[in-house]
Amino acid sequence: MNQYQPTGFKTLPTVIKNLLIINGLLFLAQYTLKQALNIDLADYLGLHYFSAEKFMPFQFITYMFLHSMLDFSHLLFNMFALWMFGKVLENFWGAKRFLIYYLVTGVGAAIVHYTVFYFQVAPTVSLIDNYINNPSIVDFKNFIESGNFQVISYEIQDNINAFLPKYNNLINTHPSQALSESVSFMQQYKIDFLNAPVVIGASGAVFGLLLAFGMMFPNSMIYVYFAIPVKAKWFVVIYGALELYMGFQSNDNIAHFAHLGGMLFGFILLKIWKRNQFNKHLY
C-alpha cells in the first residue's frame, strides 16, 4: 500500500535543511576553535556596534548563524522554532522568497537593536568625547566613580587594573602627565566600550518567521509548552508585547529589541509583497 503524502509539502524543505546544517556546523566550529586555539569566533563573525573598530558589514549576515556556547538551549530553541514555523512558510512561499524574508528580518533585527543601543550609549560616548577634548582631574574622578563607567569586558578590566596604580602615583607628583595619561586611557576605553557588545543568534529572524506565521495562518493553533493551545495571532500579539516590556524593563543580556526588529521588518516586507501583488492584479 502506498502511503499518501501531501503534494508539494516537505517536512524538511531545502532552505530550512541548509540553515539547520550551517548553524550546527558553526556551533561546532565555535566550540572547537575556542577549546583548541582559544579563538572566539563570535568576536569575528558576531555583529559589533556600527561605530566599533571591530564592526564589519558582513557581520549583518554572519551573526545570525552563531549561538551562545554557554547555553545550548539558545541554539536548540532557535533551530526548533526555525523548523516549526519555517517549514510551513517555505513550503507556502518557495525557497527563494523564504530565504529573502529570513535574511531581511535578520538584518532588520540587528538594525533595530543597535539603533536602540545608540540612544542608550550616546550620553556615555558624549561624556567621553567631552573629556578627551577638555580633560580635568576632577572630571576624570567623577566619570570613573559614576554609573557611566562600566567594566563590561576583560579588555576594560585589564586596562583599568594597569592604569589606575600608575595614575594614582602621578597625580601628586606630575599632575600634567597624569592628565595626559587619563586622556589616553579614555581614548582606549571608548574603543573597548564600543567593541564590547556583540550580537549573535537567529532569534531576530525567527521572530520574523513567527510574525509571518501569525499573519498568514492566524487561526492555527500553537501549543505552548506542548500543552496549552493558543491561536497563532494571539500568540504573536502576546509574545510581541512581552518582548516590548522586557526590552524596557529587563537587564538579562537578551536582545529583546532585536526580536521586535525582526517582527517589524517582517511586517513591513509582508505588506510590501501584498501591495505589489495587488498592484499586479490591477493590470
pLDDT of residue 257: 79
| Contact residues for 47 (Cβ-Cβ < 8 A; gap 6+) | 55, 59, 60, 62, 63, 110, 114, 198, 199, 200
Q: Please name which of 123, 128, 126, 146 lies closest in space to residue 186, comparing C-alpha atoms.
A: 128
β-strand partners of 271: none
* Cβ-defined contacts of 143-149 (< 8 Å, 24+): 143/186, 148/123, 148/124
β-strand partners of 228: 224
Element (H, E) at 271: helix 256-281
pLDDT of residue 4: 34
Q: Please name which of 205, 177, 158 lies closest in space to residue 47, comparing C-alpha atoms.
A: 205
pLDDT of residue 97: 96
Residue whose C-alpha cell is 520574523: 208
Residue spans of the domains in the chain: they are 14-113+197-281, 119-195
24, exposed or middle or buried, with CB in 10 Å at 0-12, 13-18, 19+? middle
d(CA 28, CA 34): 10
CA dihedral in degrees (102, 214, 77, 248; nearest 10)? 90
Cα–Cα separations (whole angstroms), residue 152 to 81, 159, 167: 31, 12, 21
User: Helix, strand, coil proportions of the chain in percent (round to 5)?
Assistant: 70, 5, 25
Residue 27 and residue 78 in contact, taking contact as beta carbons nearer than 8 Å: no
Fold of 14-113+197-281: Rhomboid-like fold (1.20.1540)
Predicted TM-score of the model (pTM):
0.87
Give the angle 17-21-25 at the CA atoms, nearest 5°.
Answer: 175
pLDDT of residue 10: 76
Q: Which residues of 156-174 are buried (b: 16+ CB within 10 A; e: fewer)?
A: beebbeebeeebeebbeee
Q: Kindly give the confidence (pLDDT) of every residue in the chain, 283 residues in length, as a single tens digit, with 9 standing for 90 and above.
A: 333 334 456 788 999 999 999 999 999 999 999 999 999 999 999 999 999 999 999 999 999 999 998 888 889 988 988 998 899 999 999 999 999 999 999 999 999 999 999 998 999 999 999 999 999 999 999 999 998 898 888 889 999 999 999 998 998 899 899 999 999 999 999 999 999 999 999 999 999 999 999 988 877 767 665 667 677 777 777 766 766 656 556 566 677 778 889 999 999 999 999 888 755 543 3
